[in-house]
Structure 1
C-alpha cells in the first residue's frame, strides 16, 4: 500500500482554528474521498509537539493500492478541483505544504 501525506507546516491564523477544521470537513473532505482509487483519507490536526519541533498544523494522509493508483489520482480532474478549493483553506494558514510518499510495511 502507498501512503501520500501532505504536511501543512506552519500555523493556522489565530481565531481561525474552528473555521479551518470546518472548511476541511465541509469542502475538502468530500473531494479527497472522491479521488479515484483512494482507499483511506485521514486528516490529523495537531495537538502538541516536542520542544523545538517544527509546527505542523495538519497532515492529510491518503492511501492507495500502489503507485499507479496514486498516479491516476494525482492526474484526475477532482484533484485539480481540490487544489482550487484548497486556496480558501490557505487563506487561514501561514506556512507551506510539502508532500511525502511512503510504502506501508506489511506486518
Structure 2
C-alpha cells in the first residue's frame, strides 16, 4: 500500500479556523474521496504539538494499492478540480504545502 500525505505546514489565519475546517469538509473532502483508486482518505486537523515542533495546521492522508494507482489518481480530472478549489482554502492559510509518499509497512499479526 502507498500513502501520500499533503502536509499543510503553517497556520490558519486567526478567526478562520472553523471556516477552514468547513471548507475542507464541504468542498474538498468529497473530491478527495472521488480520486480514482483511493482506498482511504483521512484529514487530520492539528490539536497540539511538542514544544518547538513545526506547526502543521492539517495533514491530508490518502492510501492507494500501489504507485500505479497513485499515478492514475494524480493524473485524473478530479485531482485538477480539487487543486483549483484548494486555492480558496489557501486564502485562509499562511504557510506552504508539501507532499510525501510512503510505503505502508505490513502489520505483523501475533
TM bucket (normalised to shorter chain) is over 0.9
Q: How does 1:5-16 map to 2 (within 5 A)?
A: 5-16=5-16
Q: Please list every run of at least 4 consecutive aligned residues from structure 1 whose deviation after the TM superposition is greater than 4 angstroms.
A: none
Distance 2:30 2:52 in 1: 34
SS in 2 for 1:38: coil
Distance 1:30 1:104 in 2: 24
Is 2:43 the counterpart of 1:43?
yes
Count of matched residue positions in the alignment of Structure 1 and Structure 2: 107
Residue 78 of structure 1 is matched in structure 2 by 78
Based on CA coordinates, which of the two structures has the bigger radius of gyration?
2
Distance 1:83 1:53 in 2: 28
Distance 2:37 2:50 in 1: 35
Shift of 1:22: 0.2
Structure 2 unmatched ranges of 5 or more: none
Shift of 1:95: 0.1
Shift of 1:16: 0.3
Shift of 1:93: 0.1
Structure 1 unmatched ranges of 5 or more: none
